Structure 1
C-alpha cells in the first residue's frame, strides 16, 4: 500500500504531466494556424474574415476535350488515346511531360497574385499518384512532384 508521501508524489507527477501536455498541445496548435468558420464567414489565420478571390487551374491536371477543341475526345483517357493514335506512344508521353511542365508556370502564379488572387483551386485526377497510365505516364511520384513545384511557387507568392 502506498504511503501518504508516495500518494502525493504520484499526484503531483500526474498534475505536472497533465499541465505539460496541455502546454505542449496548445503551443503546437498555435504554431499551425488554420482557417476556421464563424457562422457563414471564413476566418483567416489572422482572425479576420477571409474573402476568397481565386481561380481554377482547370485543364492542367485533368485535360478536358473542349479545351483542346476536340469533339469526340472528351475525357483524359480519350484525349490520350487520340494523341497516341495520331503520334504514337513515345511522342504522346513526351507531349504530356512538356504539357505538365509549361501549361502552368511560376509566372502564371505570380500573375494571379499580382491581380489580387488569394486562392487557387487545383482539380486533379487520382491517377497522378498511382501507377495507372495517365497523361502518358505511370510514375506514382509524378503528382507529388507537380504539386511540390506548384506549392513552392504559391509559397513564394504568399498565395
Structure 2
C-alpha cells in the first residue's frame, strides 16, 4: 500500500485515528510532489538568525529561521517548531556546512514522540496547546496535542 493514497470517505464510516493520519499523509505527499515537480531547488532558508553570543563561544544556535526542507516540509523557528539544540563546534568538528536536519518519516513506522515522553529523535514531538473551535463562536477552547517537527543541527560530514 502506498502511504500517499487518499482516504475513501463514505457515509456510515466508523472514523478511526488512522483515517485522519492517512489523509494527512495524502495531503503532505501532494504538496511535496507539487514542490518537487515545479523546480529543481525548492528548498533552503528564507530567513536565518543565529545566536551571536553562542557563536562567539563556539556553538551554533538558531534563534529564528524560516524555509523549506528538501522533502518539501516547511519550517518556521520558533513559531512552528522549537529551535534545535545548539551544536558545539570544536577543532575536531571539521570544515563544511552545518546542516539543519529533520528525521525522515519511517515507512509504516512511528514518527512521533508524545508530549509526555522524552524525545527519541522521531520526526515530530507532541505539544499540548489550547485551541478554539473555528466554527462555533463562544465555545471554550480545548486542549489538544499537536505534532511539532523536531530538527537537529548536524556537524559537517555527519548524518
Tell me, yes or no, whether TM beats 0.5: no
Q: Who wins on radius of gyration, i.e. which is larger?
A: 1
Give the TM-score category using the shorter length.
under 0.3
Indicate the structure with greater strand content. Answer: 2
When the two structures are superposed, what TM-score results if normalisation uses the length of structure 2? 0.21
When the two structures are superposed, what TM-score results if normalisation uses the length of structure 1? 0.21
